[in-house]
Structure 1
Amino acid sequence: MARYDGLPEFVAARGQALLRSAYLLTGDGHLAEDLVQSTLVKVAPRWRRVAAVGNPEAYVRKMLYHEHISWWRRRGRRNELPSAAPPDGERHPDFADGALLSMVLQQALARLTAKQRAVIVLRFYEDRSEIETAELLGCSTGTVKSQTHRALARLRVLEPGLADLLTDAETPEVAR
Structure 2
Amino acid sequence: MDRNDSFREFVAAHQQSLMRTAYLLTGDAHQAEDLLQSVLLKVLRRWSRLSDVERPDAYARRALVNQQISWRRRRVRAEFPTAEPPDRPYSSEDSTLVRLVMRRALMGLPPRQRAVIVLRYYEDRTERETAELMNCSIGTVKSQTHYALARLRELAPGLAPRLAVSETEETYR
TM-score (norm 1): 0.87
Report SS of the residue matched to 2:47: helix
Indicate whether 1:124 and 2:121 are aligned.
yes
State percent identity of aligned pairs. 58
Displacement after TM superposition at 1:79 (Å): 3.4
CA drift of 1:91 comes to: 5.6
* 2: CA distance, partners of 1:161 / 1:45: 45
Q: Deviations over 1:37-81 (max 9, x none)?
A: 0100111110121121111110110011101011011114x2343
Q: How does 1:1-176 map to 2 (within 5 A)?
A: 2-76=2-76, 78-86=77-85, 92-95=88-91, 96-166=93-163, 167=165, 168-169=167-168
Which whole-Å deviations, capped at 9, do the CAs of 1:9-40 have from their partners, x for residues lacking one? 11111101111111111000000000000100
Q: What are the superposed Cα offsets for residues 114-149 of structure 1, whole Å, 9 maximum, x if unpaired?
A: 000000000001111111100000011111111000
- Provide Cα deviations, 1:69-114, integer angstroms capped at 9, x if missing partner: 11011114x234334434xxx9653333211111111000000000
Secondary structure in 2 aligned to 1:53? coil
The answer for the alignment partner of 2:171 in structure 1 is none
State the AA in 2 paired with 1:2: D
- Matched letter for residue 89 of structure 2: P
In structure 1, C-alpha distance between the alignment counterparts of 2:99 and 2:61, rounded to whole Å: 23
Aligned residue pairs total 165
Structure 1 stretch displaced more, 45-54 or 20-29: 45-54
Question: RMSD in angstroms over aligned alpha carbons?
Answer: 1.7
Contact 1:4 1:48 in 2 (8 A): no
Rounded Cα–Cα distance in structure 1 between residues aligned with 2:21 and 2:78? 23
Misfit runs of 4+, over 4 Å: none
User: Unaligned 5+ residue runs, structure 2?
Assistant: 169-173
Unaligned runs of 5+ in 1: 170-176
Q: Distance in 2 between matches of 1:27 and 1:4?
A: 31
Give the direction of change, closer, same or farther, for the CA distance of 1:25–1:63 in structure 2 (3 Å limit): same
* Residue pair 1:120, 1:148 contacting (<8 A) in 2 also: yes
Q: Any idea what SS the aligned residue of 1:94 has?
A: coil
